Amino acid sequence: MAQSDAGLISGKIRELTRLIRETRLAETLSVEPEPVGSAQDQASAPDETLVNQMRAQTRLEALAQSLRSVHADIPKVAKARQDAFTFALLPGHPPRFWVDLSSFVVMSDGGRTFHFLKDTEEGRISLFRSESLEDTVNAVTDYVADRIVRQRSAGPGEQQKTPEAAKSAVPADKAEQETPTVSTAIHSARPEAAVQQPVLPPPIIIQPAPPTNDWVKLFLAFTLGLFVGAVLLFVAAWLQTPSAI
């Protein structure tokens, strides 16, 4: 009887051990192993944002280099205006190449496309968009030439228009004849006479002197005269009185 009980207990222990092993094996197989080298691949992958910024900076520098000769041909009178051409590449997020105080070129599409924009009173408008460096240089040069021509012909106080507005005002059959070439527009611009308004000095306001009371002066003079007369009488009387012996 005792042997049968011991055998039964031993069999239950073996069965329990087998179940534990099977459970552990199932848990081990259910865990998916981490791909080898995934962390290393993520660490070695290039930063796409940094690459786009470097590409945009490089292409804008190439644009600025290509436009140096255009900036050198701009007349001095146009450079001295309040809304003068700047031709400056300024860093930022994103970097921008400023043509003047209201228009600039910025890179889009991951630093691949030149986007020529202009800020107006109605909002920001797009002047030109292309992936070609040469086409962008030509677009900026045409914009500069158009501005110089309009500065020369515009009267005082006349608001400047965008290149699109200026072209739309010209009939289609005369657009090619009236649109000047780049070299002609830049070299034919004549200096404008600077009109200086005379600066007037501020008006001088003279405040009137406060009124004085004449009777006060008269009273003071009368009092002083009485005092001086009394002193003189006293001195005369003293000199005429013989001194006691």
Q: What is the pLDDT of residue 152?
A: 85
Residue 61 to residue 35: CA distance in whole angstroms: 43
Residue whose C-alpha is closest to residue 104's, from 86, 121, 122 = 86
Q: Is 114 helix (H, G, I), strand (E, B) or coil?
A: strand
One pLDDT digit (tens) per residue for the chain, 245 residues:
555 665 666 666 777 676 676 666 666 555 555 555 555 555 545 678 888 999 999 999 999 999 999 999 888 877 777 678 999 999 888 999 999 999 999 999 989 999 999 999 999 999 999 999 999 999 999 999 999 998 888 755 444 444 444 444 444 444 445 545 555 555 555 444 445 566 666 666 655 555 556 777 778 888 888 888 888 888 888 787 765 44
Classify residue 135: in a domain, yes or no.
yes
Q: Which residues of 178-196 are buried (b: 16+ CB within 10 A; e: fewer)?
A: ebbebeebbeebeeeeeee
| Boundaries of domain holding 125 | 50-187
Biggest distance spanned by C-alpha atoms of the chain: 176
Question: What residues form DSSP beta bridges with 119?
Answer: 124
Q: Is 81 helix (H, G, I), strand (E, B) or coil?
A: coil
**Burial of 102: CB neighbours in 10 Å, binned 0-12, 13-18, 19+:** middle
Classify residue 226: in a domain, yes or no.
no
Classify residue 141: in a domain, yes or no.
yes
Q: What is the pLDDT of residue 44?
A: 46
Q: What is the pLDDT of residue 82?
A: 64
219, HSE (Cβ side, Cα atoms, 13 Å): 4
Classify residue 202: in a domain, yes or no.
no
Which residues touch 181 (CB under 8 Å, ≥6 apart)?
Answer: 145
- Distances in Å between the alpha carbon of 64 and those of 69, 100, 138? 10, 13, 13
Place of tokens 């009485």: 226
Report the alpha-carbon angle 163-165-168, nearest 5. 105
Residue 15 to residue 9: CA distance in whole angstroms: 10
Classify residue 40: in a domain, yes or no.
no
Number of domains making up the chain: 1
Classify residue 210: in a domain, yes or no.
no
Classify residue 41: in a domain, yes or no.
no
Question: The whole model's pTM is what?
Answer: 0.47
- H or E stretch at 160: none
Q: What is the pLDDT of residue 222?
A: 83
Classify residue 201: in a domain, yes or no.
no
Q: What is the pLDDT of residue 146?
A: 93
φ, ψ (nearest 5 deg) of residue 118? -145, 135
Residue 188 to residue 147: CA distance in whole angstroms: 13
* One-character DSSP codes across 170-226: S-GGGHHHHS--HHHHHHTPPPPPPP----PPPPPPPPPPPP--HHHHHHHHHHHHH
- H or E stretch at 140: helix 133-153
